[in-house]
Each structure stands twice: as structure tokens, then as C-alpha cells.
Amino acid sequence: MQPLGLINGEIIDINSNVVPMEDRGHQFGDGVYEVTRVYNGKCFALKPHMDRMYRSLRELRIPATYTFGELAEFHERLIQESGITEGGVYLQVTRGIAPRAHNFPENTVPRLTMSIRPIGAGTPLTAIRESGAKIIFISDERWLRCDIKSLNLLGNILGKQKAKETGCFEAVMLRDGLVTEGTSSNFFIVRDGVLWTHPVNNLILKGVTRTIVIEHIAAELGIPVIEKAFDGEFAKGTAEAFLSGTTTEIAPVVSIDGAPVGSGAVGPITRKIQYAYGKLIDLECMR
């Protein structure tokens, strides 16, 4: 059970120097990434993650150089060789190595780096999923292509750090007064039995967990979903709220900016969705 890296299809020490200073990831954040959760030694929802990765590459016009089959095999190999059964596989592709200039270089090869790290059962996330997360609202200062899962993450970093320093789990962002998403999660509210979340456009990432919640879980449970932007006050006046994400899974939100959400306890619809999400993981990874 040790973290491992992978580059050019070869397993490596995660701490070894494998990137030259003029990799465009290192100098421009010019690349895309994905994180896939591993349960019971199996990847959960790998296909939608890789599909989204290919979309991000297309949007940035970085050529795709590995097939889904090859990427699946690399995930497999990292799991096998690390012995990690509960963890996360990180994958990123940069536009490659070239003398520094803003425009796309010609004749470079995109660079794939991957790694695996364990995610323990005893992390703070376990407690947060059980008893709920405190969050803060902050201003969304990111660029206007948040639909691309790119390496330009400073806005997310600064937001997450602010959350941490105010004793919160996550910062959820507002642009022009409307709630977009968390720094590493999507944000849902429950109002009068209806699920609300920001629609898919250039202002949010189309989360894989978000899609599962809307298309599988809510559909199956018969919970109506409204994909429409709403403001901070609307969110604060809600009965329930939760965050969704690959690592976050379904995390109930019990307070926003220090004020309780609903009764301040985890709500019943959130619990149902959490339970259903757990069942989907069981179905895909536990047998």
C-alpha cells in the first residue's frame, strides 16, 4: 500500500523528477485532469471520467494520444502495483514540452502523468458525510471556462483555503449573486421536495457525481430536479443542501456562513440520496 506514479505507461516513484521545467503544465497550467475513485480495488465511473477528459482535451485542442482501453489499463496497473484498494487515481495531460511561448507549440507530444494515493476510511470526510459540512459563500473569481477541467486552479485553491481558515469544509462560489458550485464539488439544495442546482454551462464543471445524482438517483427516487441558477438568499432559506463530488461523494451541508441550513441537522432527502449513491458504488465495485 504505497502511493505510486505513472508516466509514459511506466510505474514510477511518485516523488521522482519526471517533468522538465518547460512542460506547459508547469509553466502555464496548460492541461486537463481527472480524479477517479477506487473502491474495493475497482474504479468507480471510470468511463464518464475519461469521456469528460477527452472533452476537456478537445476544448483546449490538446490531441488525445491514449485510448480509453489504454487509460483503463493504466488505472488497473496503478491499483495492482500499489496494492491500494480504497483510494483515488489522479490523471493529468499537459500540452507537452516546448520553449516557452503562449501560442500552441508545433510537433509536441502531450504528456500523461498519473498517480494513486489511498483514501482512508478514517478521514475527516467520513465524519462530514455523517454529520454534515459547514460551508461559506465566496465570490466566484474564476475564468469563464469552468466547464473545462483544467489545471488553472488558483481560484479554486484560494477559495478552499479560505474555507479551511474559517473552519469550513468547502467554499461555494457566487457569480453576479448566483450560486455556481464549490471549489471541488457541485452544490445542490432541496426546497419543497425539489432538487435545485446550477445548470450545465461555461460557469460550472459538469460533475460526474452531479450527473449520477440527477440522471440516476433523483430519477429513480422520483425527486424532481430544476437545473436553474439561484441566489445566495434562496440557498440559505432552503430545507436541505448538499455537495457532490468524486472524493466528496454526497456531503450534507448543515450550515452556510455560520447559519444553520433548515433545522441544522442532515435532511431526509439528502440521506436518501447518500444511501442510493452508496448502493450504486456497491453495485459497480463491491462484487
Q: How far is the CB of 184 from a second copy (least distance, A)?
A: 6
Q: Which residue among the candidates 42, 47, 134, 149 is catalytic per the annotation?
A: 149
Contact call for residue 107 and a second copy (CB under 8 A): no
* Count of residues interacting with a second copy (CB under 8 A): 56
DSSP 175-243: ETTEEEEESSSEEEEEETTEEEE--SSTTS---HHHHHIIIIIIHHHT--EEE---BHHHHHT-SEEEE
Q: How far is the CB of 223 from a second copy (least distance, A)?
A: 30
Helix/strand/coil for 118: strand
Q: How far apart are CA 182 and CA 172, in angstroms?
A: 4
**Span near a second copy by CB under 8 A; candidates 95-103, 125-133, 233-241, 277-285:** 95-103
| Nearest by Cα to 249 from 45, 13, 11 | 45
Q: How far apart are CA 30 and CA 35, in angstroms?
A: 17
Could you tell me if 183 and 171 are in contact, meaning their C-beta atoms sit under 8 angstroms apart?
A: yes
Closest CB to a second copy among 46 and 148?
A: 148
DSSP 147-179: TS-BS--HHHHHHHHHHHHTT-SEEEEEETTEE
Q: How far is the CB of 178 from a second copy (least distance, A)?
A: 15
**Which position among 39, 104, 137, 234 is part of the footprint of a second copy (CB under 8 A)?**
104
**Which position among 38, 78, 89, 115 is part of the footprint of a second copy (CB under 8 A)?**
115
Provide the β-strand partners of residue 11.
6
Q: State yes or no: is 228 an active-site residue.
A: no
| Nearest by Cα to 256 from 275, 271, 277, 234 | 234
Contact call for residue 98 and a second copy (CB under 8 A): no
Q: Which 122-161 positions form the footprint of a second copy (CB under 8 A)?
A: 139, 141-145, 148, 150-158, 160-161
Could you tell me if 251 and 40 are in contact, meaning their C-beta atoms sit under 8 angstroms apart?
A: no
Contact call for residue 1 and a second copy (CB under 8 A): no
Q: How far is the CB of 259 from a second copy (least distance, A)?
A: 23
Contact call for residue 7 and a second copy (CB under 8 A): yes
Q: Taking CB under 8 A as the rule, which mask of x and - marks residues 23-62 in contact with a second copy?
A: x-xxxxxx--x--------------------------xx-
Q: What angle do CA 150, 152, 154 make, to 5 degrees?
A: 140
Among all residues, which ones are annotated catalytic? 149
The residues of the shown chain that bind a second copy, judged by CB under 8 A, are: 3, 5, 7, 14-23, 25-30, 33, 60-61, 90, 92, 94, 97, 99-100, 102-104, 113, 115, 117, 139, 141-145, 148, 150-158, 160-161, 163-164, 183-184
